[in-house]
Chain A
């Protein structure tokens, strides 16, 4: 057992969660926009 990778993996945890919320957050906004522009088409 080694804690040598901890700084890297902890930063990946933060960056990864931020990244996935960023991508899906933008996607949510994108889908709202698509729904608005193309409603009924």
Chain B
């Protein structure tokens, strides 16, 4: 009898299992499936999916239980609550980006600005359902930029970090599905057929070196809250462009970025506990994230159409390139190029769409910083 009681004790933890935890296992499994089978942002979705299962086991030792500190909670305190992980990841991302084609045609940066429209529209909509810090955090899903979304949501102390991250990374991976219908809806066949011959320009090495410094100073002066985000991104880029720190640049692009990505996904999953995630709010956040991506795309396209009103025939812009102004790199740039080729197999928009896409990376970081600056002046 004593044996049976002792043996049954092995299964006592089953009593702590809730249906919400099972839902999170399913969500975790779905994320792992999307990462492996569909190759959707696997570097993030796989750790997040596994982490979602890990932290939703009853009394999981991976997260803090009572006074016992769990490793994922410790990672959160060490690198997320102080925004260190997303910032370090930005060094790696900055080192990966070649701003050269964008610097040849700097005017393309304006499309990056226009394509942040979805962030601010979503802010208005989210403000109808959430308090201002949460609404602003949800709006930044529209930045289509994971580290920026983490940084802003964390800085504003949002309790929806897990849902925001899942929405941000899922929609980034779903860009090839989300963007084309919106682009088609916002453009005519004639506009999609506009050809944009590409003439290669030249950019000096000095310009490439000065660019990250100028961007940091400018963004820091206008939106001081963004200076950490922009600064770390641009520091990474300076490592790349300076030409004397190739080893550091390669380390940032590979070792640093990969290392941070591993712990980032798991740490974010620490916020995906059933009590925080399985709520009606999560569905609303996913819906608002979709709205953000739709309005980002429409914002970029309509900005191009607006410019076309003032441009002479033969100089018109294919409005589809505006849609590439979101930060999801390089998916968005490729999607626009493929759509151009689908309409006219001789219409190569890649150089423009990728340049606009790169500008979206700068713009999304600055938009995140502006949100923080505006929040500090509003609250």
A40 to chain B, nearest CB (A): 6
| Contact bitstring B212-240, A, C-beta under 8 A = 1, else 0 | 00110011001100000000000000000
Q: Does B103 contact A (CB under 8 A)?
A: yes
A8: which B residues are within 8 A, CB to CB? Answer: 127, 132, 378
Assess the A40–B204 pair: CB atoms within 8 A.
yes
Bound Cα distance A35, B107 (Å): 13
A6 close to B129 (CB less than 8 A): no
Give the number of chain B interface residues (Cβ < 8 Å): 46
CA of A36 to CA of B117, assembled, Å: 31
Residues of chain A within 8 A of B202, CB atoms compared: 39-40
Is the pair A21, B113 in contact by a Cβ cutoff of 8 Å? yes
Least CB distance from A3 to B in Å reads 7
Q: For the complex, give the distance between the alpha carbons of A3 and B109 in Å.
A: 34
Within 8 A of B (CB), among A10-24: 10, 12-13, 15-17, 19-24
Majority SS at the chain A contact face: helix
Task: Point out the residue from A16, A30, A39 that lies within 8 Å of B374, measured CB to CB.
Answer: A16
Q: Is the CB of B367 within 8 A of A16?
A: yes
Q: How far is the CB of B236 from chain A (nearest CB, A)?
A: 18
The verdict on B252 contacting chain A, using a C-beta distance below 8 Å, is no
Within the assembled complex, what's the spacing in Å between the Cα atoms of A8 and B155?
Answer: 19
Please indicate which of the listed interface residues A21, A30, A34, A41 has the most CB atoms of chain B within 10 Å of its own CB.
A34
Total A-B residue pairs with C-beta atoms closer than 8 Å? Answer: 119
The answer to whether B58 has its CB under 8 Å from any CB of chain A is no
Interface contact B110-A21, CB-CB below 8 Å = yes
Q: Are B120 and A17 in contact (CB under 8 A)?
A: yes
Indicate the size class of the contact surface on chain A: 20 to 34
A10 to B159, CA, bound (A): 23
Tell me which of B123, B128, B218 contacts A26 (CB under 8 A). Answer: B218
Interface residue from B136, B214, B374 paired with A27 (Cβ < 8 Å)? B214
Nearest opposing residue in chain B for A40, CB measure = B204
Question: Is residue B124 within 8 Å, beta carbon to beta carbon, of the partner chain?
Answer: yes
A24-B206 contact given A12-B123, A16-B119, A31-B211, CB 8 Å threshold: no
Partner of B127, one of A6, A23, A26: A6
A-B contact pairs, 16 of them (CB 8 A): A2-B129, A5-B135, A8-B378, A9-B123, A10-B124, A19-B374, A20-B116, A20-B370, A22-B222, A23-B113, A24-B110, A27-B218, A31-B103, A31-B207, A34-B210, A38-B210
Q: Which residues in A have some Cβ–Cβ distance to B below 8 Å?
A: 1-3, 5-6, 8-10, 12-13, 15-17, 19-28, 30-32, 34-35, 38-41
By Cβ-Cβ distance, the 10 closest A-B pairs, closest first, are: A31-B106, A5-B127, A9-B127, A38-B206, A13-B120, A38-B204, A34-B207, A24-B113, A9-B124, A28-B106
Q: Please report B residues at the A interface, Cβ cutoff 8 Å.
A: 103, 106-107, 109-110, 112-114, 116-117, 119-121, 123-124, 127-129, 131-132, 135-136, 202-207, 210-211, 214-215, 218-219, 222-223, 359, 362-363, 366-367, 370-371, 373-374, 378
